[in-house]
Structure 1
Amino acid sequence: MDALTFISELIKAVAWPVTAIALVVLLRKPIVELIPLLRRLKYKELELEFAQEVSELKAEVEAIAKEKGEEAPSIASTSSNLLNLVAFSTRAAILEAWLEVETAAVTVASSFWGQSPNDTFRNMPKLGEYLLQCKVIDEKQLAVFNKLRQLRNKAAHAQDLDLSENDARSYVQLASDLAKHIREA
């Protein structure tokens, strides 16, 4: 092996590691700025996405309450059974919280037709829009209703979803407050 072949092989072996180190050094500041935003990165960023959506939804609900002059929902008003369930299984707590919203919505929607709650309304894809038409919820609450449904679907269908208890508690709180509003309308 001559000197030129040796240098060529050495450059081939070292090229990718040196490039990776150079990128880390050059992008050190932006990477450090992004670290606080990351909580946990899972398969296809599903977990991070769920946490961000729950936070955004919580902020939206607080803004709506502030706009209406009401006090923001508190965790004390949330069903203690659902909050206890969070410690055992965040996914189960989310699914049960959604069932509470769905049951309240189906009960109220059925009452307009003088029927007992049944699967006809439960399987109705536009249940939220129907509640809006009946003036049970307003447009902002409809957006919350639909977002809660989407988040519930993500929790139900994700294979490896490991949510934090705080995110699950926030979801449970939002769902319980919406269910309470629907029942009282």
Structure 2
Amino acid sequence: MDWLQFVSAIVSAVAWPAAVVTVVCLLKDPILGLIPKIRSFKYGELHVDLTEALQSLQDELPAAPSEPETPPESQPPSLSVPLQIASVSPRAGMIAAWLEVESALNVVIKREGLDVSTDELPRAKMDRLRDAGLLNPPTYRAVLRTYKLRNEAVHMLDREIPYDDAVAMADVCSRLVESISTYKKAQSDHIAG
């Protein structure tokens, strides 16, 4: 084997890997641009689908109470704070919606005089309210799932959150706030009746 055959063998061995590396380098930016638009991700046992989880929660929770109709000229339609925030940043809107749920948990804790610090993690608050009979099992499970979605929104920074998901989260959270706030009252009304 002379030096020309040697060089030819090296070039043919390196050509395909070099071509693959070149294509990857050229397409890196478009591929990275597509990653945040992924709404679901599956790798082995891990499966994350934010939109599906929010839709499931919306279907499980009771419908939000209807508001009395007012003439359109007397009161302009107003968006909730989480929706106002979501119009600028859907991720921040989801977090703001969760904060309303956490605030409702704190209100019930304070109202019932439970020995739980409002600085404790939300999971501890939920467990105490459930143990005290102040969260019914379906609401407890929904709050846990919503808390998980909130954590995904906070920690999955490489993924873009669509506005529709923030709207769904705000809807779920407003229903949870209603359920958390009225559960004891509804339960005691039922017992008295």
Whole-angstrom CA distance in 1 between matches of 2:94 and 2:56: 18
Give the CA RMSD over aligned residues: 3.6
Whole-angstrom CA distance in 2 between matches of 1:145 and 1:54: 16
Work out whether residues 86 and 168 of structure 1, in 8 Å CA contact, stay in contact via their aligned partners in 2. yes
Instruction: Render the CA deviation track for 1:71-107: whole Å, top value 9, x for unaligned.
Output: x559x9x963322221112222122111110111111
Whole-angstrom CA distance in 2 between matches of 1:112 and 1:17: 68
What does residue range 1-185 of structure 1 map to in structure 2 within 5 Å? 2-16=3-17, 40-42=34-36, 48=40, 52-62=49-59, 64-65=60-61, 70=62, 72=63, 80-113=80-113, 120-124=117-121, 125-185=123-183
Distance 1:41 1:114, change over 3 A: closer
Distance 1:159 1:2, change over 3 A: same
Work out whether residues 58 and 174 of structure 1, in 8 Å CA contact, stay in contact via their aligned partners in 2. no
Consecutive unaligned residues of structure 2, counting only runs of 5 or more, are: 22-32, 42-46, 68-77, 184-193
Q: CA deviation at 1:141?
A: 2.2
Normalized against structure 2, the TM-score is what? 0.62
Work out whether residues 86 and 169 of structure 1, in 8 Å CA contact, stay in contact via their aligned partners in 2. yes
- How many residue pairs match? The answer is 153
Q: Percent identity over the alignment?
A: 18
Higher helix proportion, which one? Answer: 1
Higher strand proportion, which one? Answer: 2
Q: State the 4+ residue runs in structure 1 displaced beyond 6 angstroms.
A: none
Q: CA deviation at 1:55?
A: 2.0
Instruction: Render the CA deviation track for 1:161-184: whole Å, top value 9, x for unaligned.
Output: 531111111111111110111112
SS at match of 1:85: helix
Whole-angstrom CA distance in 1 between matches of 2:114 and 2:10: 82
